[in-house]
Amino acid sequence: MKTATLGYLLAGALAYCSTAHASDGAGRGQAIAMQGDGSGAPCIACHGLDGAGNDAAGFPRLAGLDTGYLVKQMQDYRSGARQNAVMAPNVDNLDDQQMIDVAAWYASQQPTPASLPEVDTALLELGKKVASSGDWDNYVVPCETCHGPGSLGVGSAFPRLAGQHAGYIKQQLHAWKNGTRGNDPDQLMLAIAARLSDEQIEAVAAYLARQPQQGDL
């Protein structure tokens, strides 16, 4: 009997939550995540409903990233300031409010812990050094100076890197290096990426992907 009562209460609570959700921005955002912008594919096809993304396919994690950061990236794809042929067509029909709503949905998702294969400890040591201490000989400021302690992100300007997929981090750093990503304010990231060696990029991406994300600390 007790279990049945608990089940009833839980069902009631869940029904209440989903009704409450459906009327707020994240609820509208969930609908966009599931349906897309009308011309592109639904976001969940690539980023998943929970925003975990997919490392092998090159789809970044969105879960738990800052709403303002996510909105800025979508606006940049829409305006062409950030270019990517796979991603841009999926948001070019969204208006600002829809971008805020879908960003709020992904920001509210709990980041899922990644299970990653073991890698060389020397590589992870080098990655940790770049992230926490930088490489002063080559004027590389530690990532944590801007991305915050544990690279957990600071406000809307500096995204969380901890737990992001290694392949995506690596790809973005190379994109800045070769000039295909240039939407960062004051070229802050270009200045950093340009001075990183390929080995440092490999190492810092592997290290950051293995760091705990906010929420599962």
Q: Give residues in contact with ligand HEC (CB under 6 A).
A: 32, 36-37, 40-41, 43, 45-47, 58-60, 62, 70, 72-74, 82, 84, 86-87, 90-91, 102, 130, 140-141, 143, 145-147, 157-159, 161, 164, 169, 172-173, 183-185, 188-189, 192, 196, 204
Name the residue nearer to ligand HEC (CB basis): 18 or 206.
Answer: 206
Q: How far is the CB of 103 from ligand HEC (least distance, A)?
A: 7
DSSP character string of 23-79: TSHHHHHHHHHHH-SSSS--HHHHH-TTS--BTTTTBPP-TT--HHHHHHHHHHHHH
In the complex, least distance from residue 74 CB atom to ligand HEC, rounded to whole angstroms = 5
Q: Which amino acid is at 62?
A: L
Rounded to the nearest whole angstrom, what is the least distance from the CB of residue 113 to ligand HEC in the complex?
18
Cα separation of 184 and 12, whole Å? 46
- Closest separation between CB of residue 12 and ligand HEC, Å? 32
Report yes or no: 152 and 69 within 8 Å, Cβ to Cβ. Answer: no
